[in-house]
Amino acid sequence: MKTRKVLAGIAAIGLALSLAACSGGTRGGTTTVDNTAGANKGALVGVAMPTKTSSRWIKDGDAVKASLEKLGYKVDLEYGDDKIPNQVQQISNMLTKGAKVLIIASIDGTALSDQLDQAAKSGVKVIAYDRLINGNKNVDYYTTFDNNEVGVQQATSLLTGLGVLGADGKDTGAAGPFNVELFAGSPDDNNATFFFNGAMDTLKPFIDKGVVVVKSGQVGFTQVATLRWDPATAQKRMQNLIASTYSDGSKVDGVLSPYDGLSIGIISALTSSGYTANALPIVTGQDAEAASVKSIVAGQQYSTIYKDTRLLGEEAVKMADDLLNGKTPEVNDTKSYNNKVKIVPTFLFPPKVVTKDNYKALLIDTGYYTEADLK
């Protein structure tokens, strides 16, 4: 009888272990995620943002966190302070804490492969937020703005400000030559090349005709890139360009700047070099940061690109919620965003050009800013 009881006990334990192995709870010591509807109520979602030096990222992080919490999820929101090791450690910690989805705006889109592999082994889905993560198959979805179009709009607004294009976008026949200098974003940010290529495709016909002249001769991405999107780096480069290329007394007529933080640094360099506030070159930007919108209203910076990050945050939250409830997130682009390993399914939003003429309609009337925010 004892032998039978022992054998029955062993059989019961074996059956229990077999069922556990098939349940998706653990396999090989790695926790996996059950994404059936309702199974992840109150789950932890990791949100990794790159920096707090830009007000834009603070707003993004806060909005995503609030929306996820409204749906009942717990949120681990971290900022990497533009330091790659910080973000790597933060994401590793999120996985250790049991995060079931990661929303990542990467500092360096190539530095997270170990963490993405760890996430995949645990069944954790990864959403790239605004910045594509490159070189790894374990990027499940991506939400961003049409980044090539951002560059097109930046260059178009530069040409409009110079008078080369009219308000209708048509060539005015202006002969120039207009002296323009080019700036690009951080070489470790995948978006930076999209912005730059879109802008250069738009500018090239006018450069070829001699209407637009890049007097410094610096037209390659690597020549004009700004590591970490650092405003101080852009300011120093602009100062150096003025001191070298424009030492003959010629003037800068326009500056292609891909980001508002850089634009503020560039304008500081121009004003410190003798350009008056009411006679600055045409300077573009991106992100509609409050400081730059104020500058536009004051007639200094010419334009910025408005990307309603509320939409971006809402889409990332919707994707996470769908994934945690066994649904397939909606995408509207399955061709454009190749991370060098795969085409990442993407949901794109359209950007918009902001100038002094339309900032109220685009930014205040929509509730993105209040009048008081821009005083």
For residue 48, pLDDT over 70 is answered with yes
pLDDT tens column, 88-107: 999 999 999 999 999 999 99
Integer angstrom CA distances of residue 150 from 20, 147, 374: 50, 5, 23
**What's the pLDDT score for residue 40?**
84
Which residue has tokens 């080019």? 182
Nearby residues of 261 by Cβ (< 8 Å), 6 or more positions away: 53, 54, 229, 231, 234, 287, 289
**What's the pLDDT score for residue 30?**
42
**What's the pLDDT score for residue 3?**
39
At residue 35 the predicted structure's pLDDT band, cuts being 50, 70 and 90, is: low
For 164, how many CA atoms within 13 A lie in the half-sphere containing its CB? Answer: 25
For residue 36, pLDDT over 80 is answered with no
Give CATH 3.40.50.2300 domain extents, the chain. Answer: 44-139+308-349, 147-307
pLDDT tens column, 113-158: 999 999 999 999 999 999 999 999 999 999 999 999 999 999 999 9
**What's the pLDDT score for residue 26?**
31
Please state which CATH number belongs to domain 147-307. Answer: 3.40.50.2300
At residue 176 the predicted structure's pLDDT band, cuts being 50, 70 and 90, is: very high
Predicted TM-score (pTM) above 0.85: no
Q: Are 179 and 213 a contacting pair, CB within 8 Å?
A: yes
* Mean pLDDT to the nearest integer, 27-36: 48
At residue 165 the predicted structure's pLDDT band, cuts being 50, 70 and 90, is: very high
For residue 362, pLDDT over 80 is answered with yes
Write out the two tokens for 134: 């490159």
Distance, CA of 94 to CA of 46 (rounded, Å): 6
| Domain range 44-139+308-349, CATH class | alpha beta
Percent of the chain surpassing pLDDT 70: 90
